[in-house]
């Protein structure tokens, strides 16, 4: 009876997890289809071509480090695009404009490339990577009607489930440099979390029974199937710029050992009380939780699997 209760409780927990993420998985499929539509591809291709043309026509590319990237430089870039737009709009008077505004300078700050596009637009190209290998490129185009007016996001290729509009409302008008940096942090953290999940599926897919995640990969749950137990792993990230989880819960549900233990307990219980009183409960794996908080997901997974037999033995012997 205790063994049946154990299995029923485990099934209930798994069904709860499935139900919790069923709508998310369905929505993920729908939104993935939306992202693959021709219109979205056309926006990416058009912006990518425009950015490539701007970089190809540049007179120089300046690499900036640390304090060189500041509000003053961004103001200079904004002034440059507006002066260039005014120069082109002024017919018959181009010779009277200072020639240095005709320079086309691209600025690289880490994985960000900032360039002047046509009109009064400023383009930011975000390069993402994982484990030293390049991943996707993302674009964000800013514009203002005049040098004194605030900038707005007029086009971008950033995934719609990342809060670019919230960041625009909170940061762009008050601190444009911080906005640009924050979007880069959002994109890189998203790619890091996504690629960590992809890697464990690629390396350990035969051991993972169930895996669910939110669109930005800030909620991840999966089940590790082992011959001796089932391990449920739940990860939550404090915010969308985190690459390591802040809330971790790892539960082990030993199978054969507990079955054997509960069979013996049931016999003893019948003799003493005439009924079964024991019931299996999951055990938290603190070593696994510590690993997930401090290591990348693939590294932590390997650590969990390596030490799982010893951890289970300690649970049984307790």
Higher pLDDT, 24 or 297: 297
Task: Determine, yes or no, domain membership for 16.
Answer: no
Q: Are 165 and 173 in contact (CB under 8 A)?
A: no
Count of domains forming the chain: 2
The pLDDT value recorded for residue 262 is 42
Residue 151 has pLDDT above 70, yes or no: yes
Task: Determine, yes or no, domain membership for 156.
Answer: yes
Of 152, 65, 68, 67, the closest CA to residue 111 belongs to 65
The pLDDT value recorded for residue 271 is 40
My answer on whether 160 and 50 are in the same domain is yes
- Among 192, 214, 236, the domain boundary falls at 192
Q: Mean pLDDT throughout 222-244? A: 91
Task: Determine, yes or no, domain membership for 21.
Answer: no
CATH number, residue 117: 3.30.457.50
In 3-state terms, what secondary structure has residue 98? coil
The pLDDT value recorded for residue 154 is 96
The pLDDT value recorded for residue 103 is 74
Q: Where does the pLDDT of residue 90 fall: very low under 50, low under 70, confident under 90, or very high at 90 and above?
A: confident
Which residue is associated with the tokens 């029923």?
A: 8
Task: Determine, yes or no, domain membership for 238.
Answer: yes
Q: Which domain holds residue 148?
A: 39-87+105-192
The pLDDT value recorded for residue 36 is 54
- Among 192, 216, 245, the domain boundary falls at 192
In 3-state terms, what secondary structure has residue 106? strand
Q: Are 173 and 142 in contact (CB under 8 A)?
A: no
In 3-state terms, what secondary structure has residue 219? strand
Task: Determine, yes or no, domain membership for 306.
Answer: yes
Tokens of 36: 């693959």
Tokens of 284: 């938290």
pLDDT, tens digit, 9 for 90 and up, residues 105-146: 999 999 999 999 998 999 999 999 999 999 999 999 999 988
My answer on whether 47 and 177 are in the same domain is yes
Q: Where does the pLDDT of residue 276 fall: very low under 50, low under 70, confident under 90, or very high at 90 and above?
A: very low
My answer on whether 182 and 118 are in the same domain is yes
The pLDDT value recorded for residue 102 is 62
Q: Mean pLDDT throughout 194-218? A: 94
Whether this prediction's pTM lies above 0.85 is answered by no
CA R_g for the chain = 27
- Distance CA(167)–CA(188), nearest Å, equals 16
Length of the chain in terms of residues written:
318
Q: Mean pLDDT throughout 174-193? A: 97
- Distance CA(112)–CA(186), nearest Å, equals 13
Q: Which helix (H) or strand (E) holds 121?
A: strand 121-130
Task: Determine, yes or no, domain membership for 271.
Answer: no
My answer on whether 116 and 69 are in the same domain is yes
The pLDDT value recorded for residue 115 is 94
Task: Determine, yes or no, domain membership for 217.
Answer: yes
What is the maximum alpha-carbon separation in the chain?
106
Rounded alpha-carbon distances, angstroms, from residue 22 to 17, 94, 161, 205: 8, 61, 18, 20
Tokens of 195: 């690629």
């Amino acid at each position: 009876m205790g063994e049946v209760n154990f299995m029923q409780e485990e099934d209930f927990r798994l069904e709860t997890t499935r139900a919790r993420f069923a709508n998310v998985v369905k929505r993920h499929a729908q939104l993935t289809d939306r992202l693959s539509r021709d219109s979205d591809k056309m926006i990416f291709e058009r912006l990518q071509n425009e950015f490539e043309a701007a970089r190809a026509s540049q007179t120089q590319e300046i690499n900036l480090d640390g304090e060189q990237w500041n509000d003053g430089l961004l103001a200079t870039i904004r002034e440059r695009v507006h002066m260039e737009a005014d120069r082109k709009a002024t017919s018959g008077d181009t010779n009277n404009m200072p020639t240095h505004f005709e320079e086309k300078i691209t600025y690289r700050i880490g994985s960000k490339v900032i360039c002047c596009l046509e009109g009064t637009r400023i383009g930011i190209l975000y390069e993402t990577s994982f484990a030293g290998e390049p991943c996707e490129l993302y674009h964000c185009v800013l514009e203002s009607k005049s040098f004194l007016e605030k900038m707005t996001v007029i086009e971008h290729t950033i995934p719609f489930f990342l809060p670019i509009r919230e960041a625009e409302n909170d940061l762009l008008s008050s601190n444009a440099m911080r906005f640009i940096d924050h979007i880069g942090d959002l994109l890189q953290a998203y790619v890091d979390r996504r690629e960590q999940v992809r890697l464990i599926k690629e390396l350990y897919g035969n051991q993972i029974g169930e895996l669910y995640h939110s669109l930005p990969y800030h909620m991840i749950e999966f089940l590790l199937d082992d011959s001796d137990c089932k391990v449920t792993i739940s990860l939550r990230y404090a915010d969308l710029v985190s690459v390591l989880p802040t809330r971790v819960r790892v539960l082990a549900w030993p199978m054969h050992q507990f079955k054997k233990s509960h069979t013996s307990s049931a016999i003893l219980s019948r003799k003493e009380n005439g009924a079964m009183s024991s019931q299996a409960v999951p055990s938290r794996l603190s070593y696994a939780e510590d690993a997930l908080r401090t290591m990348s997901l693939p590294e932590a997974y390997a650590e969990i699997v390596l030490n799982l037999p010893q951890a289970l033995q300690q649970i049984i012997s307790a």
